Amino acid sequence: MADSIAAASLLRSLTAVLFAIVLTTSFASADGTTKGADFVRVVADQMHQLEVVKVKPHAFLDQRSAIGQIAFNEDASTMVLTPFSGRVIRLIAKVGDRVKRGDPLLEIDSPEQVLPQNDFIAAQTARNKARSQLNLAQIVEKRARDLYEGKAAPFKDLQQAEAQLAAAESDMRSADSAFEAARIRLRILGRTDAEVLELEQQGTISRITRISAPIDGTVIARKVGPGQYVKADSGEALYVIADLSTMWLKAQIFEQDIAFVRVGQVIEAKVAASPNRTFTARIANISSASDMSTRRVMVRSEIGNPDGALKSDMFASFKIGVEAGAPTPAVPTVAVIREGDVATVWVETEPMLLKRRVVEIGMQQDNLTQIRSGLAIGELVVSRGAIFVDNEWRQ
């Protein structure tokens, strides 16, 4: 990719040089060229090699410059913590790995896993016992009802059977709730549904637990090593995972410019790694505080990063379009000849008569230069070839 860009740039440079040689030779060898204090009269052959355009109105966008950096999208990144204490026995994911939600990151040996699993098995046993008692109470109630309806048993026996059935149903609901609570606790502690199902079916208790990725993304940091003892209350991240498909643009705006900045305005960013590329986004957030040391306010935007060109902590330069002004005269930037603080253009006042005119220029955007004074909309100026007209006039 870099070779093709370099080749294209070299080709453009050679074309420009060749055009300059041809045009300069033409100007030097053509007969009939006359010039004066502020004009050059060219001949038809020379005129064919020039490009003359009309001065057109253009609404230039007022921009504010800023510096800043690229950062991870904090809305799409997360720290992975441990909900229990234990010793790391195996690291599975490495920095730079792409993971999906549920993929294992590491394994921890923790005695804290034993009691919740034992409670789950006890809750399962209690639920099974409650189900047996419920089944028995249903059979007794049905028998008592049949005997009562057949006038073979007193009504009090039916009432007693119904009371026992109601108590068994209540015990069953309590056992179900306790069992589900034990299942949820295991999930909170990192047990997957498959592991919980295996425990339910086989009843084998294990101290080893895998901690899984909570989101899809890329592992951007790992802060734990094999054999390290981790604590649930330390608050230190074991891993950091981020979705790199979007990034944040953090621009630092001068306090005197922040009054012109609004949410939704277009922001353009450039980074040294991609000098020929402009990244465009819209302002999503303006900080409510100013940095005490730099006296700047942070403005944040979110931008897509599908090809991964943007990396966190890259230095970036920004331009923020704050307001589109009224249309003003504009000419192609190549039409303007600059010599120190003086800017001039060549105006075609009549066929093949080019007059030099001093102008006051303003902003430059989209290969156009703003003319604040010296030209009127509709006048004709030399665009391509203006530099060679100027050279001919100076000879």
3-state helix/strand/coil string of 240-302: EEECCCEEEEEEEEECCCHHHCCCCCEEEEEECCCCCCCEEEEEEEEEEEECCCCCEEEEEEE
* pTM for the model: 0.62
- How far apart, in Å, are the Cα atoms of 206 and each of 44, 112, 196, 297? 94, 10, 11, 52
Distance CA 40, CA 42 (A): 6
Please tell me the distance from the alpha carbon of residue 198 to that of residue 211, in angstroms, as a whole number. Answer: 17
DSSP string covering 179-217, please?
Answer: HHHHHHHHHHTT--HHHHHHHHHH----SEEEEE-SSSE
Amino acid symbol at 155: F
pLDDT of residue 4: 45
User: In this predicted structure, what is the pLDDT of residue 24?
Assistant: 45
The H or E element containing residue 34 is strand 34-35
What whole-number distance in Å separates Cα of residue 365 and Cα of residue 370? 8
Q: Report the sign of the C-alpha dihedral through residues 109, 114, 115, 116, in that order.
A: positive
- Encode 53-75: b = buried (16+ Cβ within 10 Å), e = exposed: eebeebebbebbebebbbbbbee
Tell me what pLDDT residue 363 has. Answer: 80
pLDDT recorded at residue 392: 85
Burial class (CB in 10 A: 0-12, 13-18, 19+), 96: exposed
CATH-assigned architecture of domain 2-60+327-394: Beta Barrel (2.40)
Segments in the chain forming alpha helices (H) = 2-29, 44-47, 114-149, 155-188, 193-202, 386-394
Query: Which tokens sit at 271?
Result: 């980074």
Residues 153 and 223: their CA atoms lie apart, in Å, by: 74
- Domain spans of the chain? 2-60+327-394, 64-75+243-323, 111-206
Say which DSSP state 30 is in. -
- Tokens 């990192």 found at: 190
Contact indicator for 260, 322 with CB cutoff of 8 Å:
yes
Does the structural domain 64-75+243-323 have CATH classification 2.40.30.170?
yes
Spatial CB neighbours of 17, under 8 Å, sequence gap ≥ 6: none
Q: What is the pLDDT along the chain (395 residues), one digit of tens a residue?
A: 434 444 444 444 444 444 444 444 444 444 556 888 889 888 888 888 899 999 999 888 777 888 999 999 999 999 999 888 999 999 999 999 999 998 999 999 998 889 999 999 999 999 999 999 999 999 999 999 989 888 888 888 889 999 999 999 999 999 999 999 999 998 888 788 888 898 999 988 888 888 999 999 999 999 999 999 999 878 889 999 999 999 999 999 988 888 888 899 889 999 999 988 999 999 999 999 998 888 899 999 999 999 999 999 999 999 887 766 678 899 999 999 998 889 999 999 999 899 999 999 988 877 899 899 999 999 999 999 899 888 888 87
